[in-house]
């Protein structure tokens, strides 16, 4: 006989490459009770990234796995999944992660990302390989957009091409710089990402590896 799962939090494996601002935001959302989850491990693609320090302050184990140590995306991705395996990860959450991860069949629908512009609207000039952070905002300004924003999407095997799940628009002001536009977008990112993760968990209970317990 089976019964519904105990109300244990979801395990989020966070991948990052930089400052850890998004990790900080997720930790804060969890601490406030806005997100019924825990982060048992953080993996950085960059040694010395500030995100590793953020993880350490929160008591979260952190690993560094560099793409350059592997001959192929597939070998690198296998190492990433092997590092996550001991932690029973339910969802992988990219948080300023700048490397390509090959999505194996068992992880389809289990990897989320947030991108700092509107997708697919700005995909041709502000998304894809090498487009992240200030580069995205610079591309939006150069294109002359009057609206930008942020988008949470599922991750597939193409950069920033997975199905959008949620987005928020922000105005692009006439006197915006990369810094001012980026700051305005990030404010909305801090709200959108935890909300979308929460809604996704609620809508996809079958993705939780401990969804059923023996009764």
Closest CA to 143 of 160, 126, 161: 126
Q: Which two structure tokens, joined as six digits, stand for 138?
A: 């610079």
Any idea what DSSP says for residue 205?
G
* Cβ proximity of 110 and 91 under 8 Å: yes
The DSSP bridge partners found for residue 168 are 150
115 among known catalytic residues: yes
Interatomic CA distance for residues 9 and 160, integer angstroms = 28
What is the torsion angle, in degrees rounded to the nearest 10, for the CA atoms of residue 177, residue 181, residue 184 and residue 190?
Answer: -130
Q: Name the catalytic one among 115, 137, 153, 202.
A: 115
Q: For residue 10, how many other CB atoms are within 10 A of its CB?
A: 23
Cα separations in angstroms, 104 against 8, 74, 137, 180: 26, 9, 31, 38
Any idea what DSSP says for residue 185?
H
Give the distance from CA 45 to its chain's centroid: 14
Catalytic residues: 115
């Amino acid at each position: 006989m089976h019964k519904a799962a105990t109300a244990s939090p979801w395990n989020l494996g966070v991948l990052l490459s930089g400052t850890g601002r998004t990790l900080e935001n997720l930790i804060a959302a969890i601490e406030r009770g806005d997100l019924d989850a825990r982060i048992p491990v953080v993996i950085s693609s960059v040694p010395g990234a500030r995100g590793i320090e953020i993880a350490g302050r929160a008591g979260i184990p952190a690993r560094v796995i560099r793409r350059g140590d592997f001959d192929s995306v597939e070998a690198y991705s296998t190492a990433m999944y092997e590092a996550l395996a001991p932690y029973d990860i339910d969802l992988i959450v990219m948080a300023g992660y700048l490397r390509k991860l090959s999505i194996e069949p068992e992880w389809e629908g289990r990897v989320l990302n947030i991108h700092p512009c509107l997708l697919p609207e700005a995909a041709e000039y502000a998304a894809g390989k090498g487009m992240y952070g200030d580069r995205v905002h610079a591309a939006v300004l150069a294109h002359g957009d009057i609206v930008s924003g942020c988008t949470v999407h599922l991750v597939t095997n193409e950069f920033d091409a997975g199905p959008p799940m949620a987005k928020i628009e922000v105005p692009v002001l006439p006197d915006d710089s990369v810094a001012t536009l980026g700051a305005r977008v990030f404010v909305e990112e801090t709200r959108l990402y935890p909300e979308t993760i929460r809604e996704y968990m609620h809508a996809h209970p079958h993705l939780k590896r401990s969804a059923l317990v023996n009764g």
